[in-house]
Structure 1
Amino acid sequence: MSTAPAIEVGTRNSSVPGTLERFRDLFNSLDAGNLNKLSSVYSENVQFQDPLSSMSGLDQLTRYFAGAYANVLSCEFEFGDAVITGEHVAITWVMRLRHKRIRRGREILVDGMSRLVIRNGKVTYHRDYFDAGQLLYEHLPVIGRFIRWIRTGAA
């Protein structure tokens, strides 16, 4: 990852860099015990989508993350450079995850990208793109071997 925090294109939106920094900080400190921090970054009517679910509103997002983080031992993100166009942001990341139910708590790496829309200093839209197989299916006892075989055999 390079040292430039963001590449801005087009019209500058002054609230975006600060909100993006809070977004990065949030995801490197978030756990099941501090989900109240979501409101510092997300709007009440946030739209969220990832390969596993889709929801509307901060309350639904908080419940989703409560379930997602319930068995997390640790989760850190290495963020790449953000590309910012006005209120639209694209940022790549690598998630380093240790989860009680995935690989017996051993660390896994998941590559992904987030697309954000930031208005009035809050994230109003957040869509994550990642390979659900890399997160979950590759680590299941029987099917995981098959999926890993397909990945390496097809390459």
Structure 2
Amino acid sequence: MKHPDPRAAALIAQYEALSPAGLDDLVTLYAQDCRFKDPFNDVRGRAALRRVFAHMFETVKAPRFVVAEAMVEGDRCFLSWDFHAGDFVIRGASHLHFDAAGLVVAHRDYWDVAEELYEKLPVLGALMRLLKRRLRAT
């Protein structure tokens, strides 16, 4: 995906081409003291951010991101994306905050762990779907 904002364009390009060899290039788009938070991680700093993505490549089969939409207003950016990992897809969004130098100082990922991950696991998925049906209003 192309975007006219150079900060968003650089991030999108890095995420859509992300590989273990490209992790150093990715983290250069983040401030030294950046914060990254997702449903499983809450870390600070480039080294910690790099470890999160290195771990992803160690534990997930063929991970890749496809950015569907990007919106930038001032120093804030919102990305919606699909994360492909082997046989499943997680749909989520990222809220980013750029500093004056155009580096990411805060990155927060939002995605529904129950729907996008747990429901796709054999035993736990059946229990999650049953619980969801029982709690549904209609």
Q: Unaligned 5+ residue runs, structure 1?
A: 7-16, 99-106
Q: Deviations over 1:113-149 (max 9, x none)?
A: 1000112121111000001123432233311111133
Report the equivalent of 1:82. 70
DSSP-derived class of the 1:74 partner: coil
Are the aligned partners of 1:5 and 1:81 in contact in 2 as well (CA < 8 Å)? no
Question: Cα–Cα, structure 1 residues 4 and 56, in superposed 2: closer, same or farther, change >3 Å?
Answer: closer
The count of residues paired between Structure 1 and Structure 2 equals: 135
The CA distance in 2 between the partners of 1:92 and 1:65, in whole Å, is 18
Structure 1 residue corresponding to 2:11, chosen from 8, 16, 23:
23
DSSP-derived class of the 2:48 partner: helix
The structure whose residues are more often strand, as a share, is 1
Greater relative contact order structure (CA < 8 Å, 6+ sep): 1
Report the equivalent of 1:49. 37
Are the aligned partners of 2:65 and 2:83 in contact in 1 as well (CA < 8 Å)? yes
The CA distance in 2 between the partners of 1:68 and 1:51, in whole Å, is 13
Report the equivalent of 1:101. none
Q: Deviations over 1:24-51 (max 9, x none)?
A: 1111122334321223311111111111
Question: Cα–Cα, structure 1 residues 152 and 78, in superposed 2: closer, same or farther, change >3 Å?
Answer: farther
Give the CA RMSD over aligned residues.
2.3
Are the aligned partners of 2:90 and 2:117 in contact in 1 as well (CA < 8 Å)? no
Q: Percent identity?
A: 26
Provide TM-score, normalisation by structure 1.
0.75
Are the aligned partners of 1:48 and 1:55 in contact in 2 as well (CA < 8 Å)? yes
Report the equivalent of 2:91. 111
Report the equivalent of 1:104. none
Moved over 4 A (4+): 3-6
The CA distance in 2 between the partners of 1:5 and 1:86, in whole Å, is 14
Correspondences of 1:1-155 after superposition (within 5 Å): 5=3, 17-98=5-86, 107-119=87-99, 120-151=101-132, 154=136
DSSP-derived class of the 1:52 partner: coil
Q: Unaligned 5+ residue runs, structure 2?
A: none
Provide TM-score, normalisation by structure 2.
0.83
- Worse overlay, 62-71 or 77-86: 77-86
